[in-house]
Structure 1
Amino acid sequence: MSNLAEIVSEIIKELDEKDAVRERLIQVSRAIVRASSSAVVALHAGDVEKADRLLSEASDLLKSIATDLERYPEYQYTGPMPQAYQEFSEANILRAIIMQQKMPTPRELSVPSPFYLSGLADAIGEVRRFCLDLLRRGNVRKAVELLKLMENAYLVLRPLNEPSSLIPGLKRRRDVLRRLVEETRRDITLSLINERLRKSIDRLLREIERNGKD
């Protein structure tokens, strides 16, 4: 019993240190989410340079807490870190898609695989916005290319039936992705129909104009 006070004191010290790490992770994870979300906005605006700066900032923030996460690995899967991992993965994957580059791996991003998959599903969902922008500009061919990418990603994710405890929210994201793929396919189909109809009307008007001159 003589060392009980010493034991309790050590435990309190350990808990205080762990709580301090938790507070630090909360602050850093929020910054990672902000930078990653802003990078996605920049990508939609076509400002890849700004997106790269924000992703570099987010990467540096993630590196700054690597030691903390190694010491307390349980924090990778609880608290604020899952969202930070997901947002960071989403932004990096979306950049690779838009720039037509090789997909970054979970290891390259220093992100646990479950949250990488969630980020992948979210990134593919963001691709729909690019498809709609392309359709508004009349670039149907590029929109079709992105639709094929969305379809392939969904087919890759569809067989995953891991428990929600291992990949939180993936089933919901996969269901949302399926709906987005279907909606994007419908939008592209309607755009193609409208384009063909417009061309047919133009041809008809030209023929009427020529016949009127004759």
Structure 2
Amino acid sequence: MDVQRAEKTLLEEEGKLDEYLREERGVVRLCARSIKEVHRGDLGEALKLAEEAKGRMDTLPRIEGRGKHVEQEYAEALALIAVAKGEEIPDYGEMGVSAQGYLLGLSDAIGEIKRLVIEELRKGEKDLAQGHFARMEEIYAEIGHLHFSSAALPEFRRKQDVARMQVEDARGKLVR
């Protein structure tokens, strides 16, 4: 038996995973800060933070079963920045993320775009609010009909349901 060698191997792997998780959290924090800057109206800083997140994301080692969360947060940030700038949302290849990370990020971006809608309404900018709402609807129209098993795309069905509710809630706020 060679239990000691197996233990040593697993301890090394666990150490690598711990380091990966620290780095992953750092990237997620950068994406969250990027989203916050969009809501503060500083799109330049938002883009800078997203680019820093991308650079750090690209240096993360590939670990089986990891990475989708980071890609999802990054895709969400880039989609929100694009909407706030009035630009097209890049495709997942342009973002450098997986299809799974992209779709999960787009579904989460709908909630952040709703925040833009509400803020524009608060400021009396109904036209801007309607423009952002149109983008919410556009994203939902693209992702709302997709069906994947939870093995292929975990949490996607729930995120679709939440996105649908976000769109309906924003619609209600616009017609008031």
**Common fold, TM-score beyond 0.5?**
yes
Number of residue pairs aligned between Structure 1 and Structure 2? 176
Q: CA RMSD in A?
A: 2.0
For residues 163 and 126 of structure 2, what CA distance do their matches in structure 1 show? 21
- The structure with the larger Rg is 1
For residues 106 and 16 of structure 1, what CA distance do their matches in structure 2 show? 35
Match of 1:119 among 99, 105, 119: 105
> Match of 1:208?
none
> Match of 1:29?
24
- Deviation of 1:18 after TM superposition, in Å, equals 3.0
Match of 1:166 among 152, 171, 174: 152
Structure-2 change in CA distance of 1:12 and 1:104 (3 Å): farther
Which structure 1 residue ranges, 5 or more long, are not aligned?
Answer: 191-214
Match of 2:123 among 137, 144, 147: 137
> Match of 2:38?
43
- Deviation of 1:107 after TM superposition, in Å, equals 2.3
What fraction of aligned residue pairs are identical, expressed as a percent? 29
For residues 135 and 38 of structure 2, what CA distance do their matches in structure 1 show? 18
Normalised by the length of structure 1, the TM-score is 0.75
Q: Structure 1, residues 21-49: CA drift from partner, whole Å, max 9, x if none? A: 31221011000111000110010000112
Instruction: Note the 1:1-214 alignment, pairs <5 A.
Output: 9=5, 14-65=9-60, 68-69=61-62, 72=63, 74=64, 77-78=65-66, 81-190=67-176
- 2:34–2:47 CA contact under 8 A, matched in 1: yes
Amino acid at match of 2:70: A
Normalised by the length of structure 2, the TM-score is 0.90
- Deviation of 1:82 after TM superposition, in Å, equals 2.8
- Deviation of 1:17 after TM superposition, in Å, equals 4.2
For residues 26 and 182 of structure 1, what CA distance do their matches in structure 2 show? 36
For residues 62 and 18 of structure 1, what CA distance do their matches in structure 2 show? 20
- 1:115–1:167 CA contact under 8 A, matched in 2: no
